């Protein structure tokens, strides 16, 4: 940088001495870059996706929402940057020393939604020194908590995470979170992914989180066509989770009719394909049927009983008795 003196004429025609600073080209670029940072919010990539992978309109909407909350509630963003659960000096104090941030995020409540979405797809926190496992724990914890909040604003970010997740386990976490939104668009993404081998298990998991009869029918159709034990077991677990009587009860009386329909669809699919598999797969069926706890299970078993051998019929009758006992019949 140099000081340069020059002369100029002012508005009255009088010569005056002017002093200006002359910057080197390198320093000039650095200064303008710094000035630019003060007027434009610069973002790095997120934890599960690059910034430019989010469609422009959805990116702008999310960035605007993030900027507004940063103005009104900067502490919620600081809390995400200061997570402790993934740091070894914190989690190694516990009996089960594994990194996890879920409890911290849950404690933050709804205010953590936008900070988590920013971290996932807009601007990742530094996570300095984190191992792959510790970084994985942060991402999985955020995906799980975002899904638990069931906020429609998270849909674009979760759809992107479901496409861009860097590992199978994170893909399944993204699928479950997307499924918990329960909207038609998210359900459509999951249903379409059933035909993609790399995403099939994650899509099954995600549909198992959708509280809708449409998702139950989709999974039932897949179970009818299943040929491998592993695929069937995944579908059975998803139907059990989707039809869970406890989960539907938690949704309240307004969803009771849909819940009863969904549980009947799940129970019917489980009963009619039960005889096709054996061993541990059958154990998964029985567990799922008792989770669903449909009042129609006895009627469904009776309708299919003639096509079962005696041992199969007895196993299903035992399940019906267990369900009746739980319902106090």
CATH of the domain at 113: 1.25.10
Residues 195 and 50 in one domain: yes
User: Is the model's pLDDT at 171 over the cut of 70?
Assistant: yes
pLDDT the model gives residue 44? 67
User: Do residues 183 and 71 share a domain?
Assistant: yes
pLDDT of 194 > 90? The answer is yes
| Residue where a domain stops, chosen among 209, 239, 265 | 209
**Domain-ending residue, one of 175, 209, 243:** 209
Rounded to whole angstroms, the Cα distance separating 108 from 88 reads 21
> Are 203 and 269 found together in one domain?
no
**Could you tell me if 12 and 79 lie in one domain?**
no
C-alpha torsion angle, residues 272, 277, 281, 287 (rounded to 10):
30
Q: Is 269 exposed, middle or buried (0-12, 13-18, 19+ CB in 10 A)?
A: buried
Domain count across the chain: 3
What local confidence, expressed as pLDDT, does residue 16 receive? 40
pLDDT band for position 327 (cuts 50, 70, 90): confident
pLDDT at 48 over 80: yes
Cβ-contact 149, 102 below 8 angstroms: no
Q: Are 137 and 105 in contact (CB under 8 A)?
A: no
Residue 140's nearest CA partner among 126, 115, 120, 164 is: 120
Which among 162, 179, 209 is the end of a domain? 209
Res 329: pLDDT: 60
**Residues 89 and 204 occupy one common structural domain:** yes
Q: Are residues 94 and 172 in the same domain?
A: yes
Give the range of the structural domain holding residue 25, as residue numbers without chain letter: 1-40
What's the start-to-end Cα distance of the chain, in Å? 89
pLDDT of 2 over the 80 cut: no
pLDDT in tens, 289-301: 999 999 999 999 9
How many angstroms separate the Cα of 274 from the Cα of each of 52, 167, 242, 282?
46, 32, 18, 7
Name every residue whose Cβ is closer than 8 Å to that of residue 177 and which is 6 or more positions away in sequence: 143, 144, 146, 147, 148, 154, 158, 161, 206
Instruction: Please return the burial class of 7, using the count of CB atoms within 10 Å of its CB with bins 0-12, 13-18 and 19+.
Output: exposed
CA 33 to chain centre: 36
Distance CA 280, CA 310 (A): 19
Whether 66 and 19 share a structural domain: no
Q: Indicate if 235 and 319 belong to the same structural domain.
A: yes
Query: Do 318 and 264 lie in a common domain?
Result: yes
pLDDT at position 163 over 50: yes
Residues 216 and 324 in one domain: yes
Domain check: are 101 and 237 in the same one? no
pLDDT tens digit sequence for 197-210: 999 999 999 999 99
Q: What is the mean pLDDT of residues 58-68?
A: 97
How far apart are alpha carbons 236 and 252 in whole angstroms?
25
d(CA 245, CA 231) in angstroms, rounded, equals 23
């Amino acid at each position: 940088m140099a000081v340069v003196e020059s002369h100029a004429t002012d508005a009255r025609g009088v010569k005056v001495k002017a002093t200006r600073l002359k910057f080197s080209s390198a320093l000039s670029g650095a200064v303008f870059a710094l000035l630019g940072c003060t007027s434009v919010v610069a973002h790095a990539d997120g934890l599960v996706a690059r910034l430019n992978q989010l469609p422009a309109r959805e990116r702008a909407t999310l960035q605007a929402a993030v900027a507004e909350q940063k103005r009104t509630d900067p502490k919620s963003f600081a809390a995400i940057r200061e997570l402790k659960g993934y740091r070894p000096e914190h989690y190694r104090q516990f009996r089960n020393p594994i990194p996890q941030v879920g409890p911290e995020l849950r404690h933050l409540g709804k205010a953590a939604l936008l900070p988590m979405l920013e971290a996932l797809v807009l601007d990742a926190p530094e996570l300095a020194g984190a191992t792959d496992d510790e970084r994985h724990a942060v991402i999985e914890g955020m995906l799980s908590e975002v899904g638990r909040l069931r906020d429609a604003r998270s849909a674009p970010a979760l759809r992107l995470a479901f496409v861009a997740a860097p590992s199978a386990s994170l893909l399944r976490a993204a699928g479950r979170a997307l499924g918990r939104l329960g909207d038609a668009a998210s359900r459509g993404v999951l249903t379409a992914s059933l035909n993609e081998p790399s995403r099939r298990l994650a899509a099954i998991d995600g549909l198992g989180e959708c509280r809708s009869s449409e998702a139950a029918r989709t999974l039932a159709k897949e179970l009818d066509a299943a040929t491998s034990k592993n695929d069937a077991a995944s579908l059975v677990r998803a139907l059990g989770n989707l039809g869970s009587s406890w989960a539907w009860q938690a949704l309240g009386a307004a969803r009771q009719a849909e819940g009863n329909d969904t549980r009947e669809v799940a129970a019917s699919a489980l009963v009619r394909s039960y005889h096709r598999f054996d061993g541990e797969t059958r154990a998964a069926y029985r567990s799922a049927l008792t989770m669903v706890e449909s009042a129609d299970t006895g009627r469904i078993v009776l309708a299919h009983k003639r096509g079962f051998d005696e041992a199969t019929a007895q196993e299903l009758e035992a399940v019906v008795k267990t369900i009746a006992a739980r319902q106090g019949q």
